[in-house]
Copies of this chain bind each other. A is one copy, B any other.
Amino acid sequence: MKTFNVAIIGCGNVGGGAAKILLETAPELKKRTGGKEIRIKKIITLHPRRQAKKHGLPLELFCADKTAITRAQSDAFIKEILSAPDIDLVIETVGGSSNRLHALHKNILKSGKHLVTANKAILARHGRDIFEYAKAQNKSVGFEGAVCGAIPLIKVVRDSFTGDLIQSVAGIVNGTSNFILSRMNEKGSTFEDALKLAQKSGYAELDPTMDIDGTDAANKLKILIQLIYGVAATRQNFPVKGIEKISKEDFMVAKSLHSSIKLIAFAVKTDNKVWACVQPALISSKDYLYNVNGATNAVKIEAKYSGRHLFVGQGAGSVETGSAVVSDIVFIAKHGYIKNVSEPAGPAGGRLADFNNYPASYLLIIKTKDRPGVIGAVGTAIGDVGINIENIAQSVISGDDWFLPVEVSKCTAARLEKAVALIKKRKPRLISDYKYLPIFKA
DSSP majority for the A interface? helix
From B21, B159, B288, B308, give the contact of A291 (CB < 8 A): B288
Q: How far is it, in angstroms, between the C-alpha of A28 and the C-alpha of B345 when the chains are bound? A: 10
Q: Which of A137-177 contact B (CB under 8 A)?
A: 144, 149-152, 155-156, 159-165
Q: Which residues of B contact A347 (CB under 8 A)?
A: 31
Q: Which of A5-35 contact B (CB under 8 A)?
A: 17-18, 21, 25, 28-29, 31-32, 34
Distance of A347 from chain B, by nearest CB (Å): 6
The reply on A322 being an interface residue by CB < 8 A is yes
The reply on A319 being an interface residue by CB < 8 A is yes
Q: How far is it, in angstroms, between the C-alpha of A71 and the C-alpha of B109 when the chains are bound? A: 56
Q: How far is it, in angstroms, between the C-alpha of A217 and the C-alpha of B341 when the chains are bound? A: 32
Distance of A201 from chain B, by nearest CB (Å): 17
Distance of A310 from chain B, by nearest CB (Å): 4
- Copy tally for this chain in the complex stands at 2
Establish whether residues B163 and A21, one from each chain, have CB atoms under 8 Å apart when the complex forms.
yes
Question: Given A159-B159, A327-B160, A330-B163, does the pair A312, B310 have CB atoms closer than 8 Å?
Answer: yes
The reply on A187 being an interface residue by CB < 8 A is no
Q: Which residues of B contact A208 (CB under 8 A)?
A: none
Q: Interface centre among A162, A288, A317, A340, by most B CB within 10 Å? A: A162
The reply on A309 being an interface residue by CB < 8 A is yes
Establish whether residues B160 and A326, one from each chain, have CB atoms under 8 Å apart when the complex forms.
no
From B32, B164, B309, B345, give the contact of A326 (CB < 8 A): B164
Distance of A322 from chain B, by nearest CB (Å): 7
Q: Which residues of B contact A155 (CB under 8 A)?
A: 155-156, 159-160
Establish whether residues B313 and A310, one from each chain, have CB atoms under 8 Å apart when the complex forms.
yes
Establish whether residues A327 and B159, one from each chain, have CB atoms under 8 Å apart when the complex forms.
yes
Q: Which residues of B contact A34 (CB under 8 A)?
A: 339-340
Q: How far is it, in angstroms, between the C-alpha of A323 and the C-alpha of B347 when the chains are bound? A: 20
Distance of A13 from chain B, by nearest CB (Å): 13
From B156, B307, B339, give the contact of A152 (CB < 8 A): B156
**Interface size of A in residues (CB-CB distance below 8 Å):** 57
From B32, B152, B163, B341, give the contact of A345 (CB < 8 A): B32
Question: Given A21-B305, A308-B314, does the pair A335, B326 have CB atoms closer than 8 Å?
Answer: no
Q: Which residues of B contact A303 (CB under 8 A)?
A: 150, 323
The reply on A328 being an interface residue by CB < 8 A is yes
Q: Which of A318-352 contact B (CB under 8 A)?
A: 319-320, 322-331, 334-335, 338-341, 345, 347
Q: How far is it, in angstroms, between the C-alpha of A152 and the C-alpha of B345 when the chains are bound? A: 17
Q: Which residues of B contact A314 (CB under 8 A)?
A: 306-308
The reply on A434 being an interface residue by CB < 8 A is no
Question: Given A160-B152, A340-B334, does the pair A313, B322 have CB atoms closer than 8 Å?
Answer: no
Distance of A293 from chain B, by nearest CB (Å): 11
From B21, B311, B335, give the contact of A338 (CB < 8 A): B335
Question: Given A305-B21, A308-B313, A310-B312, does the pair A338, B340 have CB atoms closer than 8 Å?
Answer: no
Question: Given A156-B152, A163-B328, A327-B164, does the pair A311, B310 have CB atoms closer than 8 Å?
Answer: yes
Q: How far is it, in angstroms, between the C-alpha of A99 and the C-alpha of B303 when the chains are bound? A: 36
Establish whether residues B291 and A162, one from each chain, have CB atoms under 8 Å apart when the complex forms.
no
Q: Which residues of B contact A325 (CB under 8 A)?
A: 163
From B163, B312, B335, B338, give the contact of A309 (CB < 8 A): B312
Establish whether residues B306 and A324, one from each chain, have CB atoms under 8 Å apart when the complex forms.
yes
Distance of A156 from chain B, by nearest CB (Å): 5
Establish whether residues B313 and A163, one from each chain, have CB atoms under 8 Å apart when the complex forms.
no
> Taking CB as reference atom, which chain B residue is nearest A309?
B313
Q: Which residues of B contact A317 (CB under 8 A)?
A: 307
Smallest CB-CB A-B distances: 8 pairs: A163-B326, A152-B160, A163-B327, A150-B306, A310-B312, A305-B319, A164-B323, A162-B330
Q: List 19 A-B contacts (CB under 8 A).
A: A21-B163, A31-B347, A32-B162, A150-B305, A150-B306, A151-B309, A152-B156, A152-B160, A155-B155, A162-B327, A164-B326, A303-B323, A306-B313, A306-B320, A307-B317, A309-B313, A334-B340, A335-B339, A335-B341
